[in-house]
Structure 1
Amino acid sequence: MPAGTAWYHHDQPSSAVTIREAYFDHRGARHGTRKLSKSSRMALALTAACCELGKGKVFVLQPDVSDLSSRRQRLVEARAAFLAVPSLFFVPSTWSADEQARWTTMRPLSQLEELTSRSGVVPLSQSVLPIDVELSSEPEACPTLNGLKTATATIIIAPTPYAGLTQDMRAACGPVDVESLEFRCSSGWGPFQRWRRNDGLIGVVEELASMYHSGRAALAFFGSLRGRLIQANMAAAQAGQAYLLWHATEEE
Structure 2
Amino acid sequence: MRGDLKAAFRREKSGTGRDSLLHGDRLLTQISLKSSLSYIFDKEVSLMLGADAVASLREKLNEFGEAGAVPPPLAQRLIEASAWWLHHPQSPTRAPGFSERVVRGPHGWEVEFGGNYFLVERAILLSKRSISDALERAVVSSSTIDGTRLRKRLNACVRESVAKSNHEEYDYYRGGAPPEMRQPRYIKEPLPDSGTIQDSETASNDRVSNRRVIQLFRPVAFSEDAGFMTFGTQAIKIGDFVDEIWRQANLDSFCL
| Category of TM-score, reference length = shorter chain | under 0.3
Per the normalisation by structure 2, the TM-score is 0.25
Per the normalisation by structure 1, the TM-score is 0.25
Higher relative contact order structure (alpha carbons within 8 Å, sequence separation ≥ 6): 1
Query: Per residue, is there more helix in 1 or in 2?
Result: 2
Larger radius of gyration between Structure 1 and Structure 2: 2
